[in-house]
Structure 1
Amino acid sequence: MKIINEILTILMQLMWKVVRPEDLKLGDHVYRYGYYGLYSHHGIYVGEGSVIHFTRTKSQKTIFPSVLKTSYKQEVSSSCPECGYQESINRGVVKTCLNCFRQDGKKLQSLHRYEYGWPLLRFKFARRGTCTTLLDTKLPHQVVNKARELHANNLFGDYNLINNNCEHFATYCRTSYRASEQAAFFCECVGKIKEAKEWTMKKLLWRN
């Protein structure tokens, strides 16, 4: 049974970039899925079982209201006994334990390692929010220092789903560039939907 579990773990690591907490390295850009895998939440592993990540900075409307509503009720009632994190109080750039980072409602999601420097052709077929074509040229301690600096002063501006989210934060720590592949993909999809709608309207008008 132990051998089977080890084989399954290796397969998951290869196929889904799943990483065990004990295998994390300083400066790793990690993420976990949320809301049935529709989006991914990102952060930087800074050692000692802690992740620095960027969260909503104020009571903003979201495309996932039911999940956040449930999470909010849980956080208001108590703070994390391990790291003291409380979502209703701690906003912006926060430092939490791995379990708080992995928390999605009542479920602990698996951790994944974000990858850099993907070739463009390979990237086009990859799931957005899991990798980027950007190169990470920083050393691990530089990544960690940048994350700690932003956390100490809460210096990453207001959270914005499209222009300034958790993936922007993590890629900035790793590359000094703010980039969010899942946000870019979302905007691309919205653009194509608008184009399709306009094309359909023109066809209908032409027929009339």
Structure 2
Amino acid sequence: MVMTIINKILTILMQLMWKVVRPEDLQLGDHVYRYGLYGLYSHHGIYIGDGYVIHFTPTQRRKNTFPSIFKSSYKPSPCSTCGYQKSIDCGVVKTCINCFRQDGKKLRSLHRYEYGWPLLRSKFARRGTCTTLLDTKWPHQVVDEANELHVDNAFGDYNLINNNCEHFATYCRTDNRASEQAAFFSGCKRILKEAKGWIMKKLL
């Protein structure tokens, strides 16, 4: 009894601090994500029930994806649960939770994306974890949207800055294509470009 109470308290604290969610606690239409590349980015998807997630992965016409030095040589065989094969399946895919959590040979923790955060508070949050957008859809509407996009593979070409997995998940939840982590990286890129221009001007 005491251990059960302690476990519940620890679970609540973990969820409050890190937004970690156990697979069995996922709710229909949840926007979930997991970290990759040592926490430098997050991969997003929509939980559609029965242990499955629909998420957007790089398409065959790969543009603006991570440089080849970041790409893993690990090539898994088709999943025995859902049949997903990363080296073949692309675009809007439907996979089991473990395939979604897979990062190389590791299974990452699941996190729940937060909606409706105050602007000031979201400024200090880790990018790709929350948004000021409001989720006004019912869970079944979110799932229907994700399923339709999956069936037709209809979310366009993957683009790290303009059309990525976070854009996909927020679109399913809000009908708005938004990505906080893409906006952050785009801002960093712009600052670096301006800094480079300033340095070159000083050198000339």
TM-score under structure 1 length normalisation = 0.90
* Aligned ranges 1:1-208 → 2 under 5 Å: 2=3, 6-58=8-60, 60=62, 62-63=65-66, 65-66=68-69, 68-71=71-74, 73-74=75-76, 78-205=77-204
> What is the RMSD computed on CA atoms of the aligned residues?
1.8
Q: Provide the rounded CA distance (Å) in 2 between the counterparts of 1:69 and 1:130.
A: 24
For residues 172-206 of structure 1, what are the alpha-carbon distances to aligned partners after superposition, in whole Å with 9 as ceiling and x for unaligned?
0000011111011000011111222222333344x
Contact 1:67 1:105 in 2 (8 A): no
Identity %: 76
- In terms of fraction of residues, the more helix-rich structure is 1
Deviation at 1:88, TM superposition (A): 1.9
For residues 121-160 of structure 1, what are the alpha-carbon distances to aligned partners after superposition, in whole Å with 9 as ceiling and x for unaligned?
1011111100011111100000000000101111111111
Q: Provide the rounded CA distance (Å) in 2 between the counterparts of 1:11 and 1:97.
A: 27
Which runs of 5 or more structure 1 residues have no equivalent in the other structure?
A: none
Contact 2:19 2:112 in 1 (8 A): yes
Number of residue equivalences = 201
Q: Provide the rounded CA distance (Å) in 2 between the counterparts of 1:108 and 1:132.
A: 25
1:101 alignment partner, SS class: helix
